[in-house]
Chain A
């Protein structure tokens, strides 16, 4: 049997637009499939805020249908085509429309100032990459403006330990001679750990060969940017991060 993706049947018009029963049914599906990233009320989190009626993939119903169906390349947004099928995806589009009741927050910051701060005084580029430039330890921010909600980005700057990006834990290995090696987690299991240290060195240890391996649910990112930077500077930085959308990439 030839399985055509649901997108192949995509139509411009949502058959469930403003259908109260469909919206109600999709609320349940949204909570199961979407809320872990987009928030229980679609208010955003690790994933974008969907309550403002503006979407990075385009504002038409067909664009929303396509991104749910096919996923968003380069982000954590998976494809739901096979799991949900077109009717359920259209119902979700109707639900997402129904919660778009808020106005986009005004960003007071200056993007250019934020960019300067990112690469100079803030030294964010030591650990974070934007396109081909920057460090390797922290999460890649090339698509940060598309991937994350504004609230999540702000929290990540002022309180980086509040909700760690998956795999950004700190691992501390104590060798048998007492030396400690710490870095960001690249692997962690019952028998071994792998980490990248601040000098970009990769390490791999078996538990049986060292004194201890400890995983900490905190980031190696300094947690004092909220104090180092004035409120205005944080806004500048946010304006820069929100502008990072991967250029013309899909």
Chain B
């Protein structure tokens, strides 16, 4: 294993005799330039401040959404419209692990940290793509998952990596060796819980969501002490007896109320608020057994980072019966509305509407449909959808749009401060929704029926560029299938994404015109990332069972 420098080399600079203040400034400038040029690795343990300023280090990729606002925007501009046609693979790492590969890689200090399906994880050398270590743990038999044994990546804090294992545990690994430091159960997989989310490190906490709403679980958002692994707080996303919102659940239906938290949220350090989307109520398609709005499912919650106390919530789909989780990225943007600045959080919701909310109060600013929607005729001034009747699932099947995957599912979105546009992949299509009465049996599917597609009219997709304040679509790049991969925006004026047919491609961020493509040989589900190594900008993406890194020749 080759050594990776963990700290910059300030001694080289300190040789110059000069007043201390000058040294400090000079030091800062040289280090900054050196870092931008990629001459020095982004170095040292990642602390709270590093994470707060993650956007300012273009060489690294330190968290799921790149910065706490969830922009997934890289300031690197070596690769641009003029030369992207020459982008070529530099290395490929084959995991040999089958299943959907959904990881957002982290890049720090000469290594790339990735998680793979079924409890596998690796550290890869940025020069060659060779694995420096491999972590794996057998998945216990009997773990129920709706959608594959997937995992979406690490969080990094100090020298420690944090990931969830499928059987609903949180594990801490030494970033240099991959050795387990501790592993703590989040909840009991035998009751239907599982975990797939990339954790989020905030201060000395590791924030973790849960999956399992198709198996009669009750969802929550947890915070764990990053050092000890002990749980610090839990916010139940399904209001129970005594909680505000408890009357939005009939009878004891809250006990199996769903509300998973399977996609990483965002964080505003100034407001000290964590924003996290919540999933569908359970059972998915039979709403009769859970009368009421079913708070806080299909909602965005803003909770205090230190205590987990709810500051506000906004429910996109009250009493959802179409499995339209609100687990799309909640992206933090500062917008101008009616000539006034407003701190906003935006979400391209699975229910077919794009929303912008005031992130201080949760007040609705804008809602606009971005795909075919048959269930609501807009969102009213009270923030509730204006429902169209006859859209609920039935015993014999009822057509509704969007389909079960929604207009936009979990695929990562991106914001470019260069264009001021917000980009996300979409799916356009409808499905037949079936419901049935179903008695809950511990640990078994509790979806109360299913959906069918239309073989002769399958869903298609697109990538859209949206003006975030109005929701107006600036351009749309059509895909032949439903959206599969997330997005990356770069300062080179490019949007990178992939598709179900195996292509990774680059679009012009201003026009949506395709500028480059590469056939990876496997479905692209994960979002691409960008980083800098030895002076070169790279684009990397998980495709099929491989991790591939691209650069200019």
User: Which residues of A are interface residues toward B (Cβ below 8 A)?
Assistant: 1, 3, 21, 24-25, 27-29, 31-32, 35-36, 40, 85, 88, 161-164, 166, 187-191, 215, 217
Identify the closest chain A residue to B444 (Cβ): A25
Which one, B445, B452, B502, contacts A29 given CB within 8 A? B445
A-B contact pairs, 13 of them (CB 8 A): A21-B439, A21-B441, A25-B438, A28-B438, A28-B444, A29-B444, A36-B452, A88-B444, A161-B456, A162-B456, A166-B455, A190-B479, A217-B457
**How many residue pairs bridge A and B at CB < 8 Å?**
73
Give residues of chain B (480-534) contacting chain A, Cβ–Cβ below 8 Å. Answer: 480, 499, 501-503, 505, 514, 517
A-binding residues in B (CB < 8 A): 138, 141-142, 396-397, 434, 436, 438-439, 441, 444-450, 452, 455-457, 478-480, 499, 501-503, 505, 514, 517
Which of A3, A24, A187, A191 is within 8 Å of B517, CB to CB?
A191
Contact of B449 among A31, A161, A215 (CB under 8 A): A31
In the complex, are the beta carbons of B397 and A40 less than 8 A apart?
Answer: yes
Contact of A24 (CB < 8 Å), options: B438, B499, B503, B505: B438
Q: Pick from A31, A36, A189, A191: contact of B436, CB below 8 A.
A: A31
Q: Name the contact of B445 in the complex, choosing from A24, A28, A161, A190 (C-beta under 8 A).
A: A28
Please determine whether A190 and B505 come into contact, CB atoms closer than 8 angstroms: yes
Q: How far is the CB of A197 from chain B (nearest CB, A)?
A: 21
* CB-based contact B436/A32 at 8 Å: no
Report the nearest A residue to B442, measured CB to CB. Answer: A25
- Contact between A32 and B503, CB atoms less than 8 A apart: no
Residues of B within 8 A of A217 (CB): 456-457
A32 CB contact (under 8 Å) in B138, B450, B499, B501: B450
Q: A35-B450, A36-B452, A85-B141 are in contact. Are A25 and B434 (CB under 8 A)?
A: no
B residues near A25, Cβ cutoff 8 Å = 438-439, 441, 444
Cross-chain contact A3 with B141 (CB below 8 angstroms): yes
Minimum CB–CB distance from A170 to chain B (whole Å) comes to 12
Q: How far is the CA of A169 from the CA of B81 in the complex (A)?
A: 35
Complex Cα distance, B480 from A17, in Å, reads: 46
A189 touches B438 (CB 8 A): no
Q: Are B449 and A28 in contact (CB under 8 A)?
A: yes
> Which residues of chain A come closer than 8 Å to B517, judged between CB atoms?
191
Q: How far is the CA of A188 from the CA of B502 in the complex (A)?
A: 11
Is B449 a contact of A189 with CB atoms below 8 Å?
A: no
B450 lies within 8 A of A190 (CB): no
Check if B457 sits within 8 Å of A190, measured CB to CB. no
- Bound-state CA distance A35–B439 (Å) is 19
Closest residue of chain B to A87 (Cβ to Cβ) is B444
Collect the chain B residues with CB atoms within 8 Å of residue A31's CB. 434, 436, 447, 449-450
Evaluate whether A28 and B436 lie within 8 angstroms (CB atoms) in the complex, with A3-B141, A190-B479, A190-B480 already known: yes
Residue of B nearest to A3 (CB): B141
B448 close to A28 (CB less than 8 A)? yes
Once the chains are docked, how many angstroms separate the CA of A25 from the CA of B448? 10
Residue on B nearest A25 in the bound complex, by CB:
B441
The answer to whether A28 touches B447 (Cβ under 8 A) is: yes
Chain B: CB-nearest residue to A29:
B445
Task: Contacts A21-B439, A32-B445 known; list 15 others, CB within 8 Å.
Answer: A1-B138, A25-B444, A28-B438, A28-B444, A28-B449, A36-B452, A40-B397, A40-B434, A162-B456, A187-B501, A188-B480, A190-B514, A191-B503, A217-B456, A217-B457
